Structure 1
Amino acid sequence: MLAAQTICCIDGSFGEGGGQIIRNAVSLSTLLSKPISIQNVRFNRRPPGLRKQHEAGIRLAADIASAKTVGVHQGSTSVEFTPSRLELPRVLAADPGTAGSTTLLLQVALPCLLFSSSTSIESALTLRGGTNASMAPQIDYTLQVFLPFLRRRFGVDIGLKIVQRGYFPKGGGSIYCTIPPLSKPLQAITILERGPIKKIWGEARVGGLPVVIANKMKAAAEAKLIAKGLSSGLIRIDALRERQQDAVASGGGIVLWAETENGCVIGGSCVSTRDKDPSQVGEEAAQSLLDNLQHDECVDEHLQDQMIIFMALAEGKSTVRTGPLTEHTRTAIHVAELMTTARFTVEKIGSGAHTIACEGIGYKPAFECP
C-alpha cells in the first residue's frame, strides 16, 4: 500500500540547489509511486523557495499521478508529493502565468507521460510561458538537439509544435506536444565517438523587433566560429523575424547546433536582452558552441544533465562521453541514485572530458516499482 511506503527525503540544497532537483524528483516519484519530501527548496537561489514555474510543474505532475501535495505555493521551501494512480493517456495543460520556461515544464512531464502499456494512444500536452527564456534551454534547442537525441538514441519520437513564441522577458508563448506511449523499457545507449563535424546550423530569431537585430546576431556568430578555425562552408545560420501573429512578446535569441558524422548533435545558444548588443549575443552563442566542442564530447552541457533520468530508467548499461561535469549533472545523478537502484560511475579522460556510465533499472511501462 502506498500509505505504508517510506517517504524519500531530499535535501534541496544539494549540488546546484535549484529547480532541477524538484523536476527530477517529482518525475521519478510519479513513475515509481514513491512519496517524496523536499526540504530547503531552491536553497541556492535568491530568493529561495518555489517560483510560479516550479509550482506549475509540480501541479502538472500531480495531475498526471493523481498526487496529493503539501507546500506547493510561491516561496515555499518545503514540499511533499505523494503520487497515486497514473491514468494515461491524458490531455494536459500547464501555465505558470509568467515567462517561466516551457522547456523546463516539459522536462517534468515528459518522463511521466512516456510510459503506458495499456494503450497505443498518445498523450497531449499544452505548455504556456517563455519559449525563448533566460536560464533555460530555448525551445529551438529542444527541437534541434534534445528531441533528436531521444529519437535517435532511445527510439522516442516526441511531436512538438510551437503555437506562439514567448520571448524573454515577457513570455506568454505556447507549445503543443504529443507523447507516444512506450510498450517496452528504454534500451541502454553507448556514445563514445563523436566523429568529425559535418555541418553547423543555426537560427537567429527576433519577434516584434527589426530583422537587422537577427542579422547582427548571425553575422557575429559566424565571424566568431570562423575566427576559431571552422570553415565557412560548414556554417549555415539563418536570420529570421517572426510574423506578428506568431510571437506574443518582443525579443530574440540565437541557437546553434553542430551535427557530426556519427550522429551527435552539439548545441550552443544565447538569449537576447536589453542590455546586450546583438553582436554580443551572437558571439556568446558561438562561444557556447565552441566550449561544448572542445573536448570531443558527444553531448553538450545541457544534454548532459537532461539525459541522466533516461539513462537511469533504461535497461542495461549506458555509457556516454561528455565534457566537464556540470553541477546540474551531479545533481541529476544524486537524485536518480537516491530514488532508484540505478548506479552511476564517472571517469575523467584527459584534461576535461568524462565518461558517464549507468546501470539502469529497466523501468517497465506497467508502473511497477522496480
Structure 2
Amino acid sequence: MVCNLCDGQMEGGEIGSTEITFMPGKIKGGTHIADTKTAGSVCLLMQVAMPCVLFAASPSELRLKGGTNAEMAPQIDYTLMVFRPMVEKFALTLDCDIKRRGYYPKGGGEVVVRMSPVKQLNPINLTDRGIVAKIHGRAFVAGALPIKVAKDMASAAVRCIRKEIRDLYVNIQAVREPDNEAFGTGSGIIIVAETSTGCLLAGSSLGKRGKNADKVGIEAAEMLLGNLRHGGAVDDYLQDQLIIFMALANGISKIKTGPITLHTETAIHFAELLTNAKFTVTKSEDEESSKDAHIIECQGIGLLNTNL
C-alpha cells in the first residue's frame, strides 16, 4: 500500500519472501484503495499509511478493505475509541468511517479514512494519568449470533471490574451490528477507562467458536485492569503505535507506559534507523506508579512537509 501511496518501487514483496527492497517516490494525496482480500486487518493498513499521507501535498482518502475486528491487531473499535483521540494530540486530524464490519475468516469489511496533510507534528506529553473518571464500552455480536452473547460478555466484564473498582459506574452497551453493516459472523468487546487528564486506556477481546461469552468479557476486563494497575498514561497496545509519530514530531515527546512490549522495542529500533530520532527508556520514579512503569522519551526530528 505504501508503495502505491508514494509511487515507489518494491522488490521481494511476495508471500514467503525473506528480503524486501523498497525505494519510495513522492507521496501522493487523493484516493487510494487497499484490499487484503482476507480478514487481514484494515487497522494495520491504516497504521502504515498514516505517517505517509500526513506529509502528502493534498488531502487523502483511503478505502481499506478486509477485517475490522481481527486477532493479533487492533480492533476498529479500539482505533476509534482510543488510538484516534490520543494520536490527534500530535495536532493531526483522523476521520474514520466504518462502512461495513468484516470478521474472520472472510473479512469483507470496509473503512474509509480521510486525512489532511500537516506542515509539522507537535510533540506530546502523556505522563500524568490522573484518576479514572469513567469506564464505558461496547460488546457486539454480528451475523448468526444472538444479542444474548453480547449481554453475557458485558455482564461478565462489569462483574470483574467491580471486584476491583467499586465506586465507579461501568457502562458497557450490548449491541447487535445491523446486517447491512456487517459481513459474516463475529463477536467481541472493548472497555475504555477515561481519566481526569484525558488519558484513555482499554482492554478488549474477541469471541470465537467454542469460547464462552463470559470468558471473553472477563479477558477484556482483566486486560483493562492490568493496564490501570501499572500506572501508565497509555495502555500496552497504544505505546508502540505512538512511536513513529514521536519520532517525526518537532521537539521532545514523553509517554508513561507499563512494561515495554517487544512491539515497542521493535518500533523504537526501526524508528531510530529510519529517522535518526533519539529515544530513551527509563524506569518511572513516580511513587504512585508500579515498578513496571516506564517513561519513553523521544527527541523528534521535526520533519517538515515541503509540499505545503
Smaller-chain TM-score range?
over 0.9
Contact 2:104 2:186 in 1 (8 A): yes
Query: 1:367 deviation in Å?
Result: 6.5
State yes or no: 1:188 paired with 2:123: yes
1:167 aligns with 2:108: no
Q: Is the 8 A contact 2:32 2:61 kept in 1?
A: yes
* Aligned counterpart, 1:140: 77
Matched, 1:267 2:202: yes
2:24 equivalent to 1:68 = no
CA contact (8 A) 1:168 1:271 kept: no
RMSD of aligned residue pairs (Cα, Å)? 1.3
1:213-251 alpha-carbon deviations (Å, 9 max, x no partner): 0001000100100012343x4311000001111110101
SS at match of 1:273: coil
Query: Which residue identity does 1:322 align to in structure 2?
Result: T
Deviation at 1:319, TM superposition (A): 1.0
Structure 1 residue identity aligned to 2:84: L
Contact in 2 for aligned 1:133/1:169 (Cα 8 Å): no
- What CA deviation, in whole Å up to 9, does each residue of 1:195-230 have, x standing for no partner? 111101100001011000000100010010001234
Kindly report structure 1 stretches of 4+ aligned residues shifted beyond 6 Å.
Answer: none
Structure 2 distance, partners of 1:229, 1:267, is 15
8 A Cα contact 2:38 2:105, kept in partner = no
Instruction: Select the residue among 195, 203, 213 that pairs with 1:278.
Output: 213
TM-score by length of 2: 0.95
The corresponding residue for 2:225 is 290
Query: For residues 103-154 of structure 1, what are the alpha-carbon distances to aligned partners after superposition, in whole Å with 9 as ceiling and x for unaligned?
Result: 00100111100113x44xx210110111011111100000000001122x11
Mapped contact 2:27–2:55 kept (Cα < 8 A) = no
Which amino acid is the alignment partner of residue 219 of structure 1?
S
CA contact (8 A) 2:142 2:185 kept: yes
Amino acid at match of 1:136: A
Letter matched to residue 296 of structure 1: G
Aligned with 1:307: secondary structure?
helix
Q: Deviations over 1:30-52 (max 9, x none)?
A: xxxxxxxxxxxxxxxxxxxxxxx
Q: Which runs of 5+ in 2 are unaligned?
A: 285-289
1:110 is aligned to 50
Pairs within 5 Å for 1:116-131: 116=56, 118-119=57-58, 122-131=59-68
Q: Give the counterpart of 1:149 among 83, 86, 102.
A: 86
Aligned pairs (5 A) from 1:209-358: 209-231=145-167, 233-349=168-284, 351-358=291-298
Q: TM-score, normalised by structure 1?
A: 0.80
**CA separation of 1:230/1:115 partners in 2, compared to 1, >3 Å: closer, same or farther?**
farther
Alignment gaps of 5+ in structure 1: 1-59
> Secondary structure at the residue paired with 1:213?
helix
Letter of the 1:273 partner, please give it: K
User: Partners of 2:27 and 2:195 in 1: how far apart?
Assistant: 39
- Aligned pairs (5 A) from 1:93-108: 93-108=33-48
